[in-house]
A and B are shown apart, each in its own frame.
Chain A
Amino acid sequence: MNGVNYMGGKAVFIAHCILNQNSKALGFANRPGLIEWLIDFLKENGCVVEQLPCPEMLYLGVNRWWHTKDQYDTPGFRRHCRRLARRVTDLMEYYLRRGFSIVLIGVDGSPSCGVNLTGSNPYWGGEPNASAEQYQIVEGMGVWMEELLKEIEKREIRRFKIIGLAMDLPNFNLEESLKMLEAELEG
């Protein structure tokens, strides 16, 4: 059996859709398969890349309606996220034991994977006739990231950093994001 080469470095845990755009809510896949520039950047910088599970797709399927954080903020969805978070943090500990530090990359604006920004509209619900303009981008973290961070804190995971990339938002700037990522990965 081929085992892991315990060489240290950074293990970067990325939101599921960064490697699999086919998991997005319909209407929001920017690329056919994956976000090439980000995976290429991480590999060129010597990072190991682990993919988070997508709690939205696993909970509501690939044909789900758009949701805001308000709608995902339920005990059932949070319980589902906590169960996934336990498996992800087990995997983080695997890398920590081998000398890696951990970086978590979420997708800003997402109701579940947002780090600095998420989506809100307390009035969404009922007949599915909402428009994208009603999806308000607000400061805050998505439900999945909140539950994952709680588990990370509970396990007292150190050597850890979290980054949000606003790649789905209209004002996304690739050049600035690459500079920010470079600085964060160096630190």
Chain B
Amino acid sequence: MPLRDSRSYKVVFTPDYVINPENYPNIPKSLKIYEGIKRAGYGIVKLPVIDISEDQISDWIEIAADMIEEYQKRGYAIALIIINCLEDGGIWLSKLRAELESRKLTIPKIVEFSESELEEDEEIFSKTESIF
């Protein structure tokens, strides 16, 4: 088996919207943030679709926080992407932040996109490329 490792050591935690904009009828159906992440070579940890039940949300927050804790411990670069027209950024940011704070972890860099930015190719590409 060939041995190689091309990982970037850079991971972004994103809302469902970034991969599945068709799930959100009231905002632009744009995959441009995904395209920007792809070009920049970051890994994606996508949070689930936003309107799941409260008990499910807490488990997904725990999973995301476990990954953030592990990546931080190993020196990976981590950022959270949020969409400001989605409730709580589309990633249950207040709950995720509370979970990270309860573990005394550093809050990763938060990169916010506004609705008006979602279809601006160059702006999105330059913003995603300069996350880390």
User: What residues of chain A have their CB less than 8 Å away from a CB belonging to chain B?
Assistant: 1-5, 7, 16, 19-24, 26-34, 36, 39, 43, 46, 48-51, 53, 57-58, 61-63, 84, 87, 90-91, 94, 132-133, 135, 169-170
Contacts and interface: CB of A to CB of B under 8 A. Distances in A.
Interface string B35-66: 00110111111101111110010011001001
Given A22-B71, A31-B6, 19 more contacts: A1-B51, A1-B87, A3-B51, A4-B24, A19-B19, A20-B44, A22-B10, A30-B6, A32-B7, A33-B42, A39-B19, A39-B34, A43-B31, A48-B20, A48-B23, A50-B49, A61-B70, A91-B56, A94-B52
28 contacts: A1-B50, A2-B86, A4-B24, A4-B49, A7-B22, A19-B44, A28-B5, A29-B7, A30-B4, A32-B6, A32-B8, A32-B10, A32-B41, A33-B43, A34-B38, A34-B42, A39-B34, A43-B19, A49-B46, A50-B49, A51-B46, A58-B66, A61-B74, A62-B76, A91-B48, A94-B52, A132-B2, A135-B1
Interface of B: 1-11, 19-20, 22-27, 31, 34, 37-38, 40-46, 48-53, 56, 59-60, 63, 66-67, 70-71, 74, 76, 85-87
Q: Which 4 A-B pairs have the closest CB atoms?
A: A32-B41, A20-B43, A29-B7, A32-B8
Would you call the interface of chain A mostly helix, strand, loop, or mixed?
loop
A84 B60 CA distance: 9
B52 A91 contact: yes
Given A3-B51, A33-B8, A87-B59, A57 B67 contact: yes
A31 to B, nearest CB: 6
B24 A5 contact: yes
A7 B22 CA distance: 9
A50 B46 CA distance: 8
A16 to B, nearest CB: 8
Contacts of B44: 19-20, 33-34, 51
B3 A27 contact: yes
Contacts of B23: 4-5, 48
B5 A22 contact: no
A127 B3 CA distance: 20
A82 to B, nearest CB: 13
